[in-house]
Structure 1
């Protein structure tokens, strides 16, 4: 029987780069067979059962149809923590890890209260609850299916986050105020769809990705209002942004009266994050 590694490499070689195929080999065999990276490297692999072969075949076929490996396996890693992911939520990105890192490394007041707007998988909220001592974290999302995933992720990572189903364009349900607001809102323009890979365009939730070209700052306009209403004086809002809209987002928050507005690049050198502070 054909070696399972050779089989995966042969089947995926025309669809993905050698580096991606190597990663998929490790992920697939780790998931299906519990095989370590060292065993894969040395090819010390016992014969797979018929059931295991069928599972590998299914995963390979789905990858050839551009389905993201994270959805196929149902899991991913974010900031060193395990997260469940389903097609109801966006797959967490490294750029969002950088946003979380910014918040964690900024000097926060003791036991900060934090609101994550548009939490999706809960990766931001759960990570902040895990990594900032004494943090009291709340999170909103419009999708009940996304909140089911987020709640499970909080439980699996042994943290408490107060999740609420909430449309950020509706009236505020929160009565408390927050030291920190964070959001990774939809910011991809509809016109940018043509540049996107099929594994994103065909599988990830469009509602969490796209904004109309006519109103590219739609969510940031609303986030500014939310921050003005719900942040304590001197509280701050951290946002992930479209790399082409950094100066526009900064101008919007400055015009709204925020101070200390600043832009930060991601590790790829793209404008990716904006911070603004409420006066007080």
Structure 2
């Protein structure tokens, strides 16, 4: 079968679940990963043919997409801040909003003394996307990363190696931590922040496949992780150290109030590209 013909069939079979643009994007992601071909190759060589064996591979992926398993898990990787990351069901798939958080931190360092040896801690690192991206773009920084999941840390370590950066990973339950043991110039975290009451807003492919440990927090104490991390930051941030969080879009005001009550300075709440309250900063 010609690849061009299979493309039409592929998009049609996904039409009841995904919109055409999304289904088409899946097709070209798979084309590049499995056939090492880009969209332009198909345009230039419309008679390219899939073998029977290749069609079997494509059909297998297609059936899993019909079950709404994320394409990133099926391909085993995703792109984040211009880097490639391995992803699997033990880690959350990195989101564009988190790229904005990373960019905020990197941009904030551009006007500062490049000779300063920054120490950065990423709490709840998951795939390592924040820690690895910061290490790659802030070569003067020594980056540390914590996660409670041994399997997530194994994935994060692979991502540090494949992106040629040095990150110190630690398996640790932050809720049981009383002191971080050293001072940091920057502490950043994208902790669990989705309340159970918001589950109905979560897409099925996320709800059924991504690790709930990294997603959800109890309705009755939605700021549990933020409060704990802010307490640790009070003890373990250097003078004028910086605290960055990705946050629940519905809890922006509550987060400002939390950091104000804990005496953080220059607090700034930022919206993401979708106009939602998504990031917050406070200085020690």
Question: TM-score normalized by structure 1?
Answer: 0.96
Instruction: Measure the CA separation in 2 of the matches of 1:169 and 1:45.
Output: 58
SS in 2 for 1:4: helix
Aligned pairs (5 A) from 1:1-280: 1=1, 3-42=5-44, 44=46, 46-107=48-109, 108-109=112-113, 110-172=116-178, 174-278=180-284
Structure 1, residues 185-219: CA drift from partner, whole Å, max 9, x if none? 00001010012110000000001001111011111
Contact 1:29 1:35 in 2 (8 A): yes
Instruction: Measure the CA separation in 1 of the matches of 2:11 and 2:45.
Output: 13
Contact 1:111 1:133 in 2 (8 A): no
Instruction: Measure the CA separation in 2 of the matches of 1:62 and 1:87.
Output: 14
Q: CA deviation at 1:230?
A: 1.1
Instruction: Measure the CA separation in 2 of the matches of 1:167 and 1:76.
Output: 27
Contact 2:121 2:143 in 1 (8 A): yes
SS in 2 for 1:214: helix
In structure 1, list runs of 5 or more residues that go unmatched. Answer: none
Instruction: Measure the CA separation in 2 of the matches of 1:211 and 1:175.
Output: 26
RMSD: 1.3
Contact 1:90 1:208 in 2 (8 A): yes
Q: CA deviation at 1:71?
A: 0.4
Contact 2:179 2:235 in 1 (8 A): no
Contact 1:189 1:211 in 2 (8 A): yes
Instruction: Measure the CA separation in 1 of the matches of 2:70 and 2:233.
Output: 34
Q: CA deviation at 1:17?
A: 0.8
Contact 1:26 1:40 in 2 (8 A): no
Distance 1:112 1:214, change over 3 A: same
Q: CA deviation at 1:42?
A: 4.4
Aligned residue pairs: how many? 278
Instruction: Measure the CA separation in 1 of the matches of 2:62 and 2:194.
Output: 29
Contact 1:238 1:274 in 2 (8 A): yes
Q: CA deviation at 1:46?
A: 2.5
Instruction: Measure the CA separation in 2 of the matches of 1:60 and 1:45.
Output: 22
Instruction: Measure the CA separation in 1 of the matches of 2:212 and 2:43.
Output: 38
Instruction: Measure the CA separation in 1 of the matches of 2:45 and 2:15.
Output: 19
